[in-house]
Amino acid sequence: MIHLLNCGLFSYPKDVERGNQDSILAPIPCGNGYIMAIADGVGSYLGAKEAADIAISSLLLISESELMDMASIVSSIKNKIEGLATKNYDFAKAATTLSFCFIDELTLKVCHIGDTRVYVRKNNKLIQMTKDHTQHQELVDEGIYTKRELKNLSGKNLLTSALSRSIEPKFQELTIPISSLADAHGVIDIYIMSDGAHHFWDKRTRFSPRTLATPTQFSSSLLRRINNGPPIDDYSLVSASFVFK
């Protein structure tokens, strides 16, 4: 059996007048497990918020059996986002990222499109499980630059995949045995961060063991860090701790 022990989350806009283009899903039961997610609407296009909301509302309707076919889930959400343009053509370029996790007593399943990230805690470190669909990441993958060389160059947030009417999305799918993730007490901590949130984590990827002890403490500390810095984007976090008995 899997039980939700603790969760921490937040979602705030960069600019209150512009509104929050992110949409989040706190951990909720799904079959024999739980599902959690963040969708980050691509703010340079009209309909970004609507696209993100479609992605999250679609996850509320899926069953555990449907999670066996991530490609169908991605295709279904893409089709719904395409439908925005039939209601309002100004939304023809509406797009969103999406990262969601499903966890049960056997596996952690991850579906990821864009530059929102999924992390899992290992001891006192967060291990990034997903790979960004960005121009910078492609340059690293092709061996043209290292991450250090790209650190201060532009293009970090240029997406190479998203849920949109305009392109066929590339997506990353992971299925990881729980036995390789849970600690000695059968606990696993999962963190999903929008790019606005993980920007502040990347700047100093360290918290005290006490702060990393629970997602609630982590959430509070990361939010304080963000509030002490200049706003660069909407920022969202969904984190949860599960135990297996």
- Please determine, for residue 151, whether its predicted confidence score (pLDDT) is greater than 80: no
Smallest CA-to-CA distance from 102 within 5, 242, 197, 237 is with 242
Domain holding 118, by residue range, is 2-130+159-244
Residue 151 lies in a domain: no
Q: Are strands 98-103 and 107-113 parallel, antiparallel or unpaired?
A: antiparallel
Of the candidate ranges 4-13, 23-32, 39-48, 218-227, the one whose mean pLDDT is the lowest: 39-48
* C-alpha angle 29-215-235 in degrees, rounded to nearest 5: 90
CATH number at residue 99: 3.60.40.10
In a domain, 144, yes or no: no
Comparing C-alpha atoms, which of 7, 24, 154, 174 is closest to residue 97? 24
pLDDT of residue 12: 94
Residue 137 contacts residue 131 (beta carbons within 8 Å)? yes
Question: Model confidence over 204-238: pLDDT tens digits?
Answer: 898 999 999 999 999 999 999 999 988 789 999 99
* CB-CB contact of 43 with 234 (8 Å): yes
Domain tally, the chain? 1
Percent of the chain residues topping a pLDDT of 90: 72
Residue 141 is assigned to a structural domain of this protein: no
**CA proximity to 165, closest of 96, 64, 65, 218:** 96
Q: What is the DSSP string of 79-147?
A: HHHHTHHHH-GGGTT-EE-EEEEEE-SSEEEEEEESS-EEEEEETTEEEE-S---BHHHHHHHTTSS-H
Task: Give the closest residue to 198 by CA, choosing from 218, 170, 171.
Answer: 218
Mean pLDDT across the stretch 87-97? 89
Q: Percent of the chain having pLDDT more than 70? A: 99
Please check whether residue 154 lies inside any domain of the structure: no
Residue 47 within any structural domain of the chain = yes
